[in-house]
């Protein structure tokens, strides 16, 4: 059945409210977002209010079940290009929801699905090692591709969404997924991958990495990486650049000298304001150019 977004729909999903820093820190501590390995940096937490937006928690029918998702879009009448937002390893926590609100402020219909819902709840983990082993490592790439396909179908059923203008962005774990989805989907027109892993060991659940599918990209992808990332080597970045060039793909990688992994995560000490703001500008320009 076709489901259209109306203001009343959102009000029935969640209270329309502005988020403040103190509320976020309290909820983060209660839900396990503030993992011991990645403490919240209260002094840098960015909060985007709901003023001029519609949004909230909802559910999307995927191939085998309904999955939770967060949606944000401008309140003003109109049809807006769609941006799929792929979570970090910590799931769709308040920072990822805020990314959706920032995109909505920029004129996009943003959708962030909960991609671990079948494997577990990342908010229940206070130890990052346990989270990786017990939840993240059990998530098949094929499942993630299908869940994003379901998000596209969901957007196509919304009168406020222009799913013909489709982009995807993601961070860390989600950065790798951006590259993969841009090789999987023929509908997506632009991707921006924030510090997503480029190379790795093939497994039954994660058979390919971005380096393996560089020649199969269906749209231009912009990669944003930190020059001081301890988990993503500059060698792998250069290998990916070479693979993109050899394939003749109109994709680019930009490296921020001295920036660590997760430099856009403004709730963590890894946040680097200058790199994050420049990356955001580059992302919006990339979407504007390719959508």
Query: How crowded is the C-beta side of 243, counted as CA atoms within 13 Å?
Result: 20
Place of tokens 């989270």: 131
Q: Is 172 a catalytic residue?
A: yes
The question of whether 184 is a catalytic residue gets the answer: no
Q: Are 221 and 251 in contact (CB under 8 A)?
A: yes
- From the list 93, 95, 184, 261, the catalytic residue is 261
Quote the CA–CA distance of 157 and 134 in Å, as a whole number: 35
Q: Is 95 a catalytic residue?
A: no
Residue 205, number of CB atoms within 10 A of its CB = 13
The tokens for 7 are 């203001």
Pick from 239, 187, 190: which is nearest to 210 by CA?
Answer: 239
Element (DSSP H or E) covering residue 207: none
Is 174 exposed, middle or buried, given 0-12, 13-18 or 19+ CB atoms closer than 10 A?
buried
CA distance 125 to 235: 32
Residue of 172, 184, 219, 266 marked active site: 172
Say how many CA atoms lie within 13 Å of 171 toward its Cβ.
Answer: 25
Q: Which of 141, 147, 229, 266 is catalytic?
A: 229
Active site residues: 172, 229, 261
């Amino acid at each position: 059945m076709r489901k259209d977004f109306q203001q009343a729909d959102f009000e029935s999903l969640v209270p329309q409210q502005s988020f403040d820093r103190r509320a976020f820190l309290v909820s983060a501590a209660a839900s396990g977002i503030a993992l011991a390995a990645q403490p919240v940096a209260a002094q840098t937490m960015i909060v985007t209010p709901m003023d001029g937006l519609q949004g909230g928690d909802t559910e999307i029918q995927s191939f085998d079940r309904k999955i939770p998702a967060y949606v944000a879009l401008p309140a003003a009448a109109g049809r807006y290009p769609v941006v799929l937002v792929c979570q970090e390893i910590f799931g769709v926590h308040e920072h990822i929801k805020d990314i959706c609100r920032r995109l909505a402020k920029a004129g996009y219909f943003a959708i962030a699905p909960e991609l671990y819902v079948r494997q577990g709840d990342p908010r229940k983990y206070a130890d990052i090692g346990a989270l990786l082993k017990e939840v993240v490592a059990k998530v098949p790439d094929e499942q993630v591709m299908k869940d994003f396909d379901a998000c596209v179908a969901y957007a196509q059923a919304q009168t406020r969404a222009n799913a013909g203008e489709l982009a995807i962005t993601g961070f860390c774990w989600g950065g790798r997924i951006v590259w993969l989805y841009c090789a999987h989907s023929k509908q997506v027109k632009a991707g921006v991958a924030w510090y997503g892993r480029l190379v790795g060991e093939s497994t039954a659940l994660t058979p390919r990495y971005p380096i393996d599918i560089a020649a199969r990209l269906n749209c231009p992808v912009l990669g944003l990486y930190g020059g001081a990332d301890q988990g993503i080597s500059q060698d792998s970045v250069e290998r990916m650049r070479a693979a993109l060039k050899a394939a003749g793909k109109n994709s680019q990688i930009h490296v921020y000298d001295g920036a660590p992994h997760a430099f856009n995560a403004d709730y963590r000490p890894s946040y680097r304001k200058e790199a994050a703001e420049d990356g955001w500008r580059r992302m919006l320009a990339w979407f504007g150019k390719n959508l």
